Amino acid sequence: MKTLKWIKPLLLLSAIVAVLVLGGKYLNLQQHLADALAWIKDLGSAGMGVYALLYILACVLFVPGSILTLGAGAIYGVVAGSLLVSVSSTLGATAAFLVGRYVARGWIAKKIEGNARFSAIDDAVAGEGWKIVGLTRLSPIFSFNLLNYAYGLTRVSLREYVLASWIGMLPGTVMYVYLGSLAGDLASLGAETDRATTPGEWALYTLGLLATVLVTVYVTKIAKKALAARLA
């Protein structure tokens, strides 16, 4: 019976994610986002506020924001576009984090309350959370949208989460905004997938791979240490 209590919420969460992903695929959300960007461009400076709201909504609804990030570069240029995406993505990640924390965290806390192993790992992550958040934000392996909710289930403080997310996402943000600015116009964004990889992208991928290795080793290390201390 205890196993069934765990399985039902996990199946429900998996179903919700699957519906959002498949819905995005078959409802052609990327094209709708491209159309929204064209509309935002015509709004002038007021479009920045609309863009930020759209980006936040995309984060909460598991909609990939790559087209939005590239679009900011095409519309506003590298500097203004990077600032806009940085603020928008951080706010969006925070919104999803808060949903995960206040909707599901209570359930998770009850489940691990009597489990020494899970409690020890949760304590360790709470103490070193900002390092883990920053490293995973640099890594392309970890899903941005899924991490937003997942960190809400941990005991990472909101302040550390926001700061580490902002810093960790900044290199990738600047890179993809820059690539969007090279497209010149919104209609050319789709052609970005057919071009050769730039040296800057290779550097970003290398940094992401290094971050993936570091976060894997680091999390394993603190988990083992926490478990040893708790079980001793």
Do the domain assignments include residue 224? yes
Do the domain assignments include residue 200? yes
Do the domain assignments include residue 64? yes
Do the domain assignments include residue 82? yes
Do the domain assignments include residue 101? yes
**Secondary structure letter of residue 28 according to DSSP:** T
Q: Is residue 81 a contact partner of residue 179, using CB atoms and an 8 Å limit?
A: no
> Mind giving me the DSSP string for 43-81?
TGGGHHHHHHHHHHHHHHTT---HHHHHHHHHHH-HHHH
Do the domain assignments include residue 6? no
Do the domain assignments include residue 3? no
pTM as predicted: 0.72
Long-range contacts of 8-14 (CB under 8 A, 24+ apart): 9/107
Residue ranges making up the domain that contains 106: 29-231
Q: Tell me how many domains the chain contains.
A: 1
Q: What is the full per-residue pLDDT of the chain (232 aa) written as tens digits? A: 444 444 555 555 555 555 555 554 545 677 778 888 888 888 888 899 999 999 999 998 888 888 899 889 889 998 999 999 999 999 999 999 998 888 877 666 665 565 565 566 566 667 777 888 888 888 777 778 888 888 887 888 899 999 989 998 988 888 888 888 887 666 666 555 455 666 666 676 677 677 667 766 766 676 566 556 655 5
